[in-house]
Structure 1
């Protein structure tokens, strides 16, 4: 993928991120900023899709200490500690940081896990068109439900 395609992919991923944020807010989720992360939580629902820590917008990296602060905030709200982020917007090392904190991916792309690589704009060419299309269909279905 050339540099222009990577930039365009990130632009689309940011739109997806914004859509998710607005959709969850529309369902009643509230947001509190804790350092470099936003903690989204629903006052009455414990659904994981409405209760999570996410890196603040326009943040390229979040240290593990800041992630832990957000997770602790969720625990105080009696919510399951969870981080939600869009992989293609962060360097591959970010997922290792989460893994080192004891977190596991909710729904990783199975093919990426089998290959031991992340599904990012930079390495999307390593996956078949079929894998990419199935990912887009899954994302579309998720957005329709949420």
Structure 2
């Protein structure tokens, strides 16, 4: 079970960079092909940049050519929360951190086997932890 973390928006502003705050707390999106983790091929985990919750393992990362880091599965189903997102005149499924509720990105049904999922995640929403 994931431990829930609650902080005020003022506390988040002190902890996060302005870019991280805009993405994680205000649900913004970084420009495609600009994220620092897009081309990362190291072995390890991708954790929520706000609270450190482990979300994705490097062996589930793939190049979707979408411009954002993409994964076909999560480490644990309770590490994320999926929410309907009807913003921008379309329906998508938003991916939130299961621990702190921060916006990570969106998930789509056009990924590779075995899940068929493509978790399209902002680099600034994650911190990479090297496991080698």
Tell me the TM-score range normalised by the shorter chain: under 0.3
> Over alpha carbons, which structure has the higher Rg?
1
Q: TM-score, length-normalised on structure 1?
A: 0.25
The higher-RCO structure (CA 8 Å, 6+ apart) is 2
